[in-house]
Amino acid sequence: MLQKLFKFNGGVKPATNKAASTRDPIKPVPMPRQLVVPLHQHVGGTPHPLVEAGEQVLKGQRIGAADGNVSSAIHAPTSGRVLAIEPRVMAHSSGLSSLSVVIEPDGEDRWIDTAPMPWRSMSPDEIRDELRDAGIVGLGGAVFPSHLKLKPGNEGTHTLVINGAECEPFITCDDLLMRERGDQIVRGALIMQAMLKAQRVLVGIEDNKPEAIAQMQAAVQRNGTTSMQVIAIPTRYPAGGAKQLIRVLTGIEVPHGRRSTDYGVQCFNTGTAYAIADAVEKGRPLISRIVTVAGNVERPGNYEVLFGTPMDHLAALAGIKADTDRFIMGGPMMGFRMPAYDVPVVKATNCVLVGSEALFPAPAPEMACIRCGECARACPADLQPFELYWHSRAKNFGKAQEYHLFDCIECGCCAYVCPSHIPLVDYYRFAKSEVWARERQKDAADVARERFEFRNERIEREKREKAEKLAAKTAASRAAASSAPGAEQGEAAPAAASTAADDSKKALIAAAMARAKAQRDAADQAAAPVATPPASAPDSAPATTAPAPQDRSI
Amino acid sequence: MSLNSPYLRKPTSVSRVMAEVLLAMAPGIAVYAWFFGAGILVQLALATAAALAFEAAFLHMRGRPIKPALADLSAVVTAWLIALSFPSIGPWWLIVVATGFAIIVAKHLYGGLGQNPFNPAMVAYAVMIVAFPALMSQWPGAGQLDASAQLELIFGGARDIDAITAATPLDALRTGLRAEGAGVASLLDGAAFGHIAARGWEWVTAAFLLGGVYLLARRIITWHIPVAFLGTLALLATLASLLAPQAYPGALFSLFSGAAMLGAFFILTDPVSGATTPRGKLIYAAGAALITWIIRHFGAFPDGVAFATLLMNLCVPLIDMKTQPAVFGHKKKG
C-alpha cells in the first residue's frame, strides 16, 4: 500500500525537543484541591450552568448545557460539591475572566450512570446531538464542536483524515496517545468514518514518531479494517496544520474561508477520535485529556488531566525549575502565554510549556526589513509575509487584505526565520483585529443608518397619513355642511382611506419581520463550520480560543 | 521577554547575511589584487572607512541607534560594491565622495536600510561616471602598475594618465570595432585579451562566479536572478554573434567581461532594491541583462550593469505587484 504524498511549500524545521517527554508512559494526576471548570471551552456559544453553588455533582454529570447547536456541553470532571459559579481567569493570554464552575472533589470519583450509545440504530442527527451533549470538541487545539463537522459534505465526503502529525516542538500528547491507546483511536475513527460515509481514512503521522506509527499500524491490523491507512509524512512544521496535512495526504488545497468538506475531506485530531469512542462505546463525556508538560521542568512527560486542574498543580508533578518565568499553553511556535500559573487546564490544552528566559530568550532587537524573502520561502500559505508586514505596519489594511492577510494561519514560520528579528505574526494579529474592529463598526453603523432611515420614513408616513385624514375629514365635514344628501359619499371616502393605510402598515410590519428573519438566518449560517472571523458573527460564534475551526494540532 | 509566539527563533541575523555576502566577495578580491595590484585593497579600505563614517554620522543626525546599524554590515557591503565597480587607481576623493553619495543620498535620505528604492552602490557609480567620465574610465591593465605607482595615483596629485592605463576590454573592443573597422576575432587576439575575455579580469569574474555559487549554496540568494541575468546575456550575445560574428563577441566573452558576474550575484541580488517574487526576479534580471547588453554595444559607457540595475530598480514595484505568487488554495489547477 504505497501512498503518493504531496508537498506544501515552505515550512521550517526547528529542533523538535520531543524525546524527553516520551520516555515515560502517560501518568495520572493526583486529585487537586479544587477544580475550576470554565463553561466556555470551545468555539461557539457559552453553555448555561445547570447546577447551583452547594449542589453535589457526580463525575461526568452535565453541569453546562450547550447554548444552541453551535456549542458544546460541559461536565463535572469528578464527583464533589459545587463551591461557586463565578468568573475566574481563563486559560487565555488576554487575562480575562469567564464564568466557571468551582468544584471541591469529594475524593470518591463516583461516575454517573453511563451506558453505551446504540449508535448504529440511531439517526445521524441523534448521534450528533449526543456528541454535543457529551462535550466532544476538536482536541488539536481549535476546540471546534465535533458534531458540527460530522456531516457528509454536499457532494459526499470521500476521505477522513486523522491528524496525528503533531508538528509543534515539545508537544507529545498525541504521540503517547497513539502509542498506548491506538485501538480506541482506530475505533473512534471508524465511528466518524461511518457518520461521514467516507470511503477511506488516512492517519497522517510525522515520521519522527516511528513508535506511534508502528502502534497505529498494528492497531489498524488488529481491527481488521481495510479502508484505513497509517501514513508517515515528512517532519516539517507546520505539517500538522489541518490544511497542510490534507494537502500532504490528498493533494487537495482547501482555500481560506472554505470548508474541507466542500472538497470531500474532513479532518480530526487523534485525541478527538479517542474521545468520540469514549462517548459512544462507554457513554462517557469528555472530562479529561492527555497534556504534555515540557520545557523548563526536571521530568518532562504526559499526563491524563481532568479539565479544571490548575496548571501549576499539573506542572509541579514534572518538577518546575527555579528560573521559570511563564507558562505557555500549546507549543513554542503557536502557543499563548498564560496570564497566571494557576489557570485551569481546558479542552484546548494540549501542552503546558514551562518557559524561562534561558529556554526562550527574547529575540534580538527588531531591525529594518531588508526584503530578503526568507519569510516568503518559509510561508506554508504561499504568502509574501514581508509585503503583509509593510502594509500592516503602515496601517494600510486594505492592501494587507489584497495580499491575503486572512490566509495567514499564524504558524510563526516567517518570524522564526526573519534575520531582522521582526515579530511578524504580531503585526498580522494586529492588522486582523483592526480589520475585524472596523467591520464591526461598519456593521453597527449600517444597522444604525437603517434604523434611522426607517424612523424617518415612519415619521414621514405618519405625517402624510395625518394630513390625509385631516383632508378627508375637512372634505367630509365640508360636504356634510354643503349638502346633507352627499353624506353617504363623504363617509365612504375616509373609511376607504383608513383601510388602505392599515394595509400599507401591515405590509411594512411583514417586511420588517421578514428582514429580522433573514438576519437571524444569516447569523445562523455564519455560525456554521466555516472559517468565519469571530467579528462577522459576534453573537453566535464568539471564538475566543481560536478563530479557525480546523484542528490545529501542530 | 517575548510576549507572543513564536518563542523560538532561528539563529540568524542581518549581520550574518551581510557577512556571508562579504565572504563570498573575498575570492574575487584576492584574484583582483593578484592580477591588478594592491590598489583595489586601498580602495576597499577607503570605501569601508568612508561608508562607516557617513553611516554613523547620518544615524546620529537622524537620532537612530548607531551601533546595531553599523554592526549590520550593510554599509560595508555597499562600500565593497563601490570599490569593486570603480577603477582601482582612481584618486582617493573619488571613492570617498561616491561612498558618501551612496550612503547619504541613496540610502539615508530615503529612510535608511530597507527603504532605498535604488541600489546605493549603483547610484554612486552612475553619478560619478556622469560627473567624472575620464577618471571613471582609467583602469590599469593586468600587471601593469606596481603598488607604489598605484598608491601614487590614488593619493598623489599628478595624473599623466593616458601613458599608464589601458582602456577596459569592453571599451577597447567597442572603440576598435567602431574606429578601425577591425573584426572581433582579430581584436581579441590583442595583448589585452586572455583566454575567453580580458587578460586577468576573466579570472576575477570567474572568482566572483565562485563566490556567487557559495551564496546560492548558503541559500543567501536564490537562483532566479543570476540564472535569468546570465542566461539572457548569453542568449543575446550568442544570437548577435551568430548573426554578425565580426561585430559582436560571443557568450563567454560577454559573461566574463565587465561587471556581469558581480552584477548577477552581488548587485542585482540586493533584496532591498530588487524584485522579490520568483517570477518577478526572472523578469527583473532578464530586463537588466537586455539593458546591459544594449548599453555595452550601443552606448557610450564602459559597462551597462549600473544603469541597467537602476532602470530595473524603477520597475520593481510594478514587477512585484504583477507577479504575486498564487496563495495556498488559490492556485489555478487546484
Contact B5 A363 (CB under 8 A): no
Q: How far apart are CA A43 and CA A213, in angstroms?
A: 30
Looking at the complex, report in whole angstroms how far the Cα of residue B131 sits from the nearest Cα belonging to chain A: 30
Instruction: Give mean pLDDT, residues A440-445.
Output: 92
Contact A425 B6 (CB under 8 A): yes
The shortest CB-CB distance from A417 to any of B12, B14, B329 is to B12
Residue A428 has pLDDT above 60, yes or no: yes
By C-alpha distance, the chain B residue nearest A411 is B6
Contact B328 A334 (CB under 8 A): no
Contact A416 B10 (CB under 8 A): yes
Q: How far apart are CA B306 and CA B292, in angstroms?
A: 8
CB atoms within 10 A of CB B294: 14
Residue A345 has pLDDT above 90, yes or no: yes
**Residue ranges per domain, chain A?**
19-31+120-291, 363-463
Q: How far apart are CA B64 and CA B53, in angstroms?
A: 15
- Assess contact for B323 and B282: CB atoms under 8 A: no
The shortest CB-CB distance from A357 to any of B1, B12, B14 is to B1
Contact B72 A334 (CB under 8 A): no
Instruction: Name the pLDDT band for A511 (thresholds 50, 70, 90).
Output: confident
B-chain CB neighbours of A333 within 8 Å are: 5-8
Instruction: Give mean pLDDT, residues A325-330.
Output: 95
Of residues B184, B288, B270, the one with CA closest to residue B230: B288
SS3 content of chain B, % helix, strand, coil (to 5): 65, 0, 35
> Which of B328, B330, B332 has the most A C-beta neighbours within 10 Å, making it the best mutation to test the interface with A?
B328
pLDDT value at position A534? 43
Q: Mean pLDDT, chain B, as a whole number?
A: 89
Check CB contact of B298 with chain A, cutoff 8 Å: no
Give the tens place of pLDDT for each residue, A144-162: 999 999 998 888 899 999 9
**Residue ranges per domain, chain B?**
12-166, 168-322
pLDDT value at position B158? 61
Check CB contact of B277 with chain A, cutoff 8 Å: yes
Q: How far apart are CA A235 and CA A12, in angstroms?
A: 9
pLDDT value at position A501? 62
pLDDT value at position B5? 87
**ipTM of predicted complex:** 0.88
Contact B7 A332 (CB under 8 A): yes
Is B11 strand, coil or helix?
coil
By C-alpha distance, the chain B residue nearest A370 is B114
**Higher-confidence position of A202 and A517:** A202
- Assess contact for B301 and B244: CB atoms under 8 A: no
Residue type, B274: G
**Higher-confidence position of A12 and A483:** A12
pLDDT value at position B68? 86
Looking at the complex, report in whole angstroms how far the Cα of residue A197 sits from the nearest Cα belonging to chain B: 24
Residue A328 has pLDDT above 60, yes or no: yes
CATH 3.40.50.11540, applies to A19-31+120-291: yes
Strands, sheet with A80-89, edge to edge from the N-terminal-most edge strand: A35-38, A97-105, A80-89, A56-57
B-chain CB neighbours of A253 within 8 Å are: 328-329, 331, 334
B contact residues 138-197, partner A, Cβ 8 Å cutoff: none
Q: How far apart are CA A114 and CA A58, in angstroms?
A: 11
Looking at the complex, report in whole angstroms how far the Cα of residue A135 sits from the nearest Cα belonging to chain B: 29
| DSSP E strands, A322-444 | 324-329, 336-337, 351-356
The alpha carbon of A319 is separated from its chain's Cα centroid by a whole number of angstroms, namely 31
- Inter-CA distances, A256 with A40, A532, B229, B328, Å: 26, 10, 36, 8
Residue A522 has pLDDT above 50, yes or no: yes
Contact B328 A370 (CB under 8 A): no
Cα B248-B132-B103 angle, rounded to 5 deg: 100
> Which of B9, B320, B333 has the most A C-beta neighbours within 10 Å, making it the best mutation to test the interface with A?
B9
Check CB contact of B323 with chain A, cutoff 8 Å: no
The cell for A306 is 481532568
pLDDT value at position A199? 94
pLDDT value at position B206? 95
Residues 6+ apart with CB under 8 A from A499: none
- Inter-CA distances, B36 with B23, B39, B208, Å: 20, 8, 15
CB atoms within 10 A of CB A152: 16
Looking at the complex, report in whole angstroms how far the Cα of residue A367 sits from the nearest Cα belonging to chain B: 8
- Inter-CA distances, A51 with A86, A206, A284, A286, A290, Å: 12, 43, 19, 18, 27
pLDDT value at position A527? 53
By C-alpha distance, the chain A residue nearest B219 is A374
By C-alpha distance, the chain A residue nearest B327 is A382
Low-confidence ranges of chain B (pLDDT < 70): 1-3, 157-169, 178-182, 191-192, 332-334
Is A108 strand, coil or helix?
coil
The shortest CB-CB distance from A335 to any of B5, B272, B327 is to B5
- Inter-CA distances, B132 with B39, B94, B128, B301, Å: 19, 9, 5, 12
pLDDT value at position B244? 87
pLDDT value at position A184? 97
Check CB contact of B112 with chain A, cutoff 8 Å: yes
Give the tens place of pLDDT for each residue, A44-80: 999 999 999 999 999 999 999 999 999 999 999 999 9
Instruction: Give mean pLDDT, residues A227-235.
Output: 96
Q: How far apart are CA A352 and CA A338, in angstroms?
A: 9
Q: How far apart are CA A413 and CA A175, in angstroms?
A: 23
Return the number of CB contacts < 8 Å for A and B: 140
By C-alpha distance, the chain B residue nearest A355 is B7
Instruction: Name the pLDDT band for A536 (thresholds 50, 70, 90).
Output: very low
Contact A360 B2 (CB under 8 A): yes
Instruction: Name the pLDDT band for A98 (thresholds 50, 70, 90).
Output: very high
Check CB contact of B137 with chain A, cutoff 8 Å: no
Looking at the complex, report in whole angstroms how far the Cα of residue B332 sits from the nearest Cα belonging to chain A: 11
**Omega of the bond leading into A238 within 30 degrees of 0 (cis):** yes
A-chain CB neighbours of B17 within 8 Å are: 370, 372, 419
- Inter-CA distances, B81 with A235, A344, A381, B29, B119, Å: 40, 58, 36, 11, 10
Is A445 strand, coil or helix?
helix
Check CB contact of B269 with chain A, cutoff 8 Å: no
Check CB contact of B67 with chain A, cutoff 8 Å: no
Looking at the complex, report in whole angstroms how far the Cα of residue B262 sits from the nearest Cα belonging to chain A: 18
**Omega of the bond leading into B91 within 30 degrees of 0 (cis):** no
To the nearest 10°, the Cα dihedral for B34, B36, B38, B40? -110
Q: Is B25 left (phi over 0), alpha (psi -120 to 50) or beta?
A: alpha
Looking at the complex, report in whole angstroms how far the Cα of residue B95 sits from the nearest Cα belonging to chain A: 25
Contact B271 A417 (CB under 8 A): no
Contact B2 A421 (CB under 8 A): no
pLDDT value at position B250? 86
Is B138 strand, coil or helix?
coil
pLDDT value at position B165? 59
Q: How far apart are CA A266 and CA A288, in angstroms?
A: 24
Give the tens place of pLDDT for each residue, A123-152: 999 999 999 999 999 999 889 999 999 998
Contact A384 B325 (CB under 8 A): yes
Q: How far apart are CA A47 and CA A76, in angstroms?
A: 13
Looking at the complex, report in whole angstroms how far the Cα of residue A317 sits from the nearest Cα belonging to chain B: 24
By C-alpha distance, the chain B residue nearest A427 is B4
The shortest CB-CB distance from B17 to any of A247, A372, A415 is to A372
**Pairing assessment for the beta strands A62-65 and A74-75 based on DSSP bridges:** antiparallel
B-chain CB neighbours of A381 within 8 Å are: 327-328
Q: How far apart are CA A185 and CA A162, in angstroms?
A: 9
Residue A257 has pLDDT above 80, yes or no: yes
Residue B39 buriedness (CB in 10 A; 0-12 / 13-18 / 19+): buried
Cα B77-B79-B82 angle, rounded to 5 deg: 110
- Assess contact for B136 and B87: CB atoms under 8 A: yes
Q: How far apart are CA B154 and CA B137, in angstroms?
A: 14
The shortest CB-CB distance from B2 to any of A93, A362, A374 is to A362
The shortest CB-CB distance from B8 to any of A332, A337, A421 is to A332
> Which of A13, A247, A253 has the most B C-beta neighbours within 10 Å, making it the best mutation to test the interface with B?
A253
Instruction: Name the pLDDT band for A537 (thresholds 50, 70, 90).
Output: very low
Instruction: Give mean pLDDT, residues A251-265.
Output: 91
Q: Mean pLDDT, chain A, as a whole number?
A: 89
pLDDT value at position B146? 79
The shortest CB-CB distance from A381 to any of B6, B327, B334 is to B327
The cell for A25 is 508512559
